[in-house]
Amino acid sequence: MTATTDAGPGATEITPGVPDLDDVAGHWVGADEIAHLPSLRNQQGQGHVNADLTSASWLVAPPFTFGYHTGELHLDGRTPAAQRFLWKPWGVVRERRGDGLLLRTDTRMALSRDLLLWRITATNEGPEARTVELSQDLYARVAHTEVGYGWLYDVPWNHGDHHDFMALERIRATTGGGGASYLLSPAPRRLRLGRPRIPGIQRDEDHGPMLLDDALPSHFSHDKEPEPRTGVDAAVRALRVESADGGLVLDIDGPVTLTRDGEATFDALVLAPGTEIGFDLRLDAAGQSGTVLIHGNHPDSLQIGVEDGRLWLGITGEREFSTADVPERTWHRVSTRVEADHAVLTLDGEEIIRTRHWNASRRWASHVTDSPETMLTIEDTRSPARAAYAFSGPAPGLTSTGAGGRATWTCRIEPGQSVTLGIACAYGTGADQVRAEARAAVQDFDATLRAGTDGWRQHWSHMFTPGNPDFSGHLPTLTTHDAGLARTYYMGALQLLYMRNTRIRPGEPVFLTGGPRLGPTTTYFWDHSEWSRMYALLEPAGLRSWLLRVLAGPYQESFGIDARSGGPLGNAYSANDYALFRLIEHYVCITGDTAFLDTTAGGATVLQHLEGLGFGWRDKRSPATGGVLADFGEDPWNLLECIPGYTGVVASFNGAYVGATRALAGLYRQRGRHQDADRAEAEARELADAVLDLYAGDGRWRIRRPDGTDTIGHCLDFGLVAACLHRELAPQVRLEMADFVERDLLAGGWMRALSPNDPAAATSDRPDHGAGGAFCAWPGVTAHGLARLGFRDRALTLLRDLASAASGGLWGQAMEIVTTADGHLRARVAERGVSNRETIAGAAGAEAVLSALFDVNPSFTDPRHRASLPDTLTADGIGTLRGLRRP
């Protein structure tokens, strides 16, 4: 931020107007202090940089997806790791310094283009001239597909397209000198015979814990026929699992009869290098296709099966097929031995399959052209996808290696001098087209890079400009003397811009929920509600269109939609009623578009949908839990996923139903439906009394289930009860709730979602909803709740500290609390498991600046709700918001 005058210790006066984007975006972070490496986005797609200096993984820009990674940079035959990272919205700079040589790379997805860019600079910081060899692997394992873009979206592999999160993450871990081995999962998994359950819930037990490290939900899109999940008609006997030293791990004599729809499960075990699994197999019918054995229930699991009566072996995303038939109705000995870098399958003592390294692909083909420029072209044999590499600066020596290539430069660098290399990779569906795109990008490489940077700056400026060409609305400008608060607000705004995608639905910008390892087309209802005020201010036309599409679909049966296909995704969330009600209410109240309520979506008016959402508690009541409050059932996946006991009647969303029912009463009264308003108000009072009866003291709330009650201290109960029932809470209860947050939840400039003192903390393995940290929306929700309880000073203190947790970028799904070397607590973006590097709900902190500090809380309960916001709001001791009103 630009400082102009000293406004007291720790505070500076912020220059009126929007800060420079460079000041809002990231700063250098060391590899030793960052867990989740930075991402790449370009308003069309997303990706991740890796631990080395140049490679990127998880690249996807629908309809294009990339597999594996794009290739590493080698220095004199070695593969150096990055020592520090600098994220900006237009790209990621990685750096390594050692032995008198500074290597700095800049990796980008070119803004709104199907184009990857790398700039590599080597600087001689030593006293003498030196010659170095730089070589860059060139992979573009790109595929073109129009389907399969769920939360777990399809990624291209050698034998087909599917989502294999664990396998690709282990391949990423080999970059930067991480080692060549990636085949084996470290997790214990059950050994199974028969029908696999992939792509179901990827865990061994139907009711087992959903741990981040080795489990995934079945959140796939519905526009692609899933791979058949069948077993075989067969028998297995003499099943033996032996460790590398010959020890017997599992011994099943059998025989076990297999059917196409059945399975037999055995003890969990870890596949370590040298593990051997052998069994006798008798196929009871000719020409069968199906699975015989699987270790676990994941795409990367070791699998043995048959296709048309011939054996195949699968492991870590790959599948190898034999050419030998297995005669039916006779016994054959099948054995596989797994090593760190390969697996072997034998039939009756003869090796028939040996897996290969991922870069020994048979799916993609490459070739070098020397005229008019040296280029490398890569084509996918399973789709029309094509890619081309072109180069700026000194011409490389270029070789083709089957599915990719390698560019090599031998450079003499004088002391204090640098050599700079440019690489462009264009992708598309035509070889001539991608060659032309890559060639054009390197003709003036600096201009190509500059165009992307300037484009991001222009989008940033337009976010705060009334009548701009990028958005149907704009955000207000904050002027404040509090530098921390300003940073929270403007970083939240940048989070929205960074997650925006303009290609998924032409003419309608889409704000993605998370990623980059997940969800390139996904929007969650709940996450969108965490920035609903800002959504209605910035992109009212897009929000209106999105709401109509959501309401026309089965929104009660899913957590969100695939914005590309429009189909539902995932399981139902108990938050859906609250989230969609809030989004509709804020859209109507901020824009004044009351006609929207009478618009039809999915056979009902928006008002009818709104009534179903607001009165959603009515059909969720159960006599077994009191018969007044909503009972959300026994499945924790409908609420907070990782807290097994957070089921049944909970305070959080019942409190939200109080707020929604009162809002409907206000809307009815404005429409002259006074009897309906009276009834809704009476029901809201009854609900409020029942919620207050759940208070357990000391800031905690009771959970009521048919089999008894528990007490929990979770920020979601605090946030929603404080937001919706603050007027009913006694002053002492308000103080106890606020003290509970400060005492049990706030930590390291961030917070914990769950009190570490709760019994549930030991079984909550998630740094987003458990005791190890907090989801990126929870500080904003908590700050809003503190302000509603009358503790605006505490809300301000919480909000001004949030930027320190962003790990040199923006806020992620899960922000974990860690202990530094000097014993202090700090927060960082969590990487382990399936946590997202960025999540749109991180804008909740900026949303809370509006709601908690400036009281921007539009509601149907306010008869002046129709676009009644003033253009300027000033909060004493905080600052001024300008540009709230639409032009």
Q: pLDDT for 528-542, tens place per residue?
A: 999 999 999 999 999
The C-alpha atoms of residue 805 and residue 810 are separated, in whole angstroms, by 9
Q: Which residue has better confidence, 735 or 214?
A: 735
Q: Is residue 361 scored above 90 in pLDDT?
A: no
For the ranges 607-611, 691-695, 881-885, which has the lowest average pLDDT?
A: 881-885
User: What pTM, to 2 d.p., does this model score?
Assistant: 0.95
The tokens for 624 are 């077994």
The C-alpha atoms of residue 428 and residue 115 are separated, in whole angstroms, by 9
What's the pLDDT at 645? 87
Rg of the chain over CA atoms, in angstroms?
Answer: 29
DSSP 3-state assignment of 451? helix
The tokens for 76 are 């004199």
Q: What is the pairing mode between strands 386-392 and 375-380?
A: antiparallel
What's the pLDDT at 195? 87
In the 3-class helix/strand/coil scheme, how is 454-510 assigned residue by residue?
A: HHHHHHHHHHCCCCCCCCCCCCCEEEECCHHHHHHHHHHHHHHHHCEECCCCCCCCE
Q: Are 597 and 869 in contact (CB under 8 A)?
A: no
Closest alpha carbon to 55 in 500, 379, 514, 404: 404
The C-alpha atoms of residue 564 and residue 567 are separated, in whole angstroms, by 8
Span 463-499, pLDDT tens digits: 999 999 999 999 999 999 999 999 999 999 999 999 9
Q: Is residue 200 scored above 70 in pLDDT?
A: no
- Count Cβ atoms within 10 A of the Cβ of residue 257 and give its class: 0-12 exposed, 13-18 middle, 19 or more buried: middle
Closest alpha carbon to 597 in 609, 608, 588, 606: 606
Half-sphere exposure of 883 (CA within 13 A, CB side): 20
Q: Is residue 7 scored above 50 in pLDDT?
A: no
Q: Are 268 and 204 in contact (CB under 8 A)?
A: yes
The owner of tokens 């129709």 is 866
Q: Are 882 and 489 in contact (CB under 8 A)?
A: no
Give the mean model confidence (pLDDT) for residues 51-68.
98
**CA distances in angstroms from 121 to 73, 81, 91, 334, 383, listed in the order given:** 12, 15, 15, 53, 35
The C-alpha atoms of residue 200 and residue 296 are separated, in whole angstroms, by 12
The tokens for 553 are 């679909």
What's the pLDDT at 100? 96
Half-sphere exposure of 133 (CA within 13 A, CB side): 10
Beta strands in 637-713 (DSSP E): 695-697, 700-705, 708-712
Span 679-702, pLDDT tens digits: 999 999 999 999 999 999 999 999
Q: Is residue 216 scored above 70 in pLDDT?
A: no
β-pair partners for 281: 236, 332
Q: Are 520 and 63 in contact (CB under 8 A)?
A: no
Q: In the chain, what percentage of residues exceed pLDDT 70?
A: 95
What's the pLDDT at 27? 94
Give the chain's count of helices (H) and strands (E): 17, 53
Half-sphere exposure of 28 (CA within 13 A, CB side): 8
The tokens for 776 are 């990126």
Span 381-412, pLDDT tens digits: 999 999 999 999 999 999 998 889 999 999 99
The C-alpha atoms of residue 217 and residue 197 are separated, in whole angstroms, by 12
